[in-house]
Structure 1
């Protein structure tokens, strides 16, 4: 192999691997800062790849370590823990008001997704992106 081919091969391999990360190009993969979460409530726009249009689903990081909001049908409360490498949410109380079946199903999916979150980002467009194992992805905006 000529001396010029090796750097070209290594550079091409690095580009190929970077392109295969599965992360959309418009996102930054850094952990969100707590100050970015607080303030106005976040409205969930997408849950695991499906648009959220039929219900109101919100995240309100009103105090450090606490999140609450509307989960399609009922209000919920949860706690979160953030460190340098992870962001986890533990759901707590949920009101138990009966709602139409589609809203109850969306609520179940949302609360299940919250339990699996292990990372939080804010992308270049200002969207909050919560991700986790098993293709969990919650997108929200203000």
Structure 2
């Protein structure tokens, strides 16, 4: 798979908040937890863990909503203050990471999910590819997802 030439950009629905992703994410995967279903309004959301220093907030004001996730861990959800589009969250247990919502990228053609987490919470009609890295709940480690992304892209982690 070919990655785009970084940096790439994205933003919220109304265009007020813009950001730049400076390098490849650590992985791309689907999250089927109830939080992602509620926040995205879909059966899952596409998560992209990125190192905090590789995400540049360019414009617009963010609103934050701190909550306890399905995993029991604290997260800070980040939204556009104007249109309330969900852009990323910051896991309190991993302050060096930002969990970017891939759907907020200007182009996500290259953001191929390599796995699924919280498969025990998936909606009944979703089929999970058993060849992917799949986890029934919150992974104790994202390393298998990172390794699958490295294998797919042929690029070493930053």
TM-score (norm 1): 0.28
Q: Kindly indicate which of the two structures has a greater share of residues assigned to helix.
A: 1
| Higher Rg | 1
TM-score (norm 2): 0.26
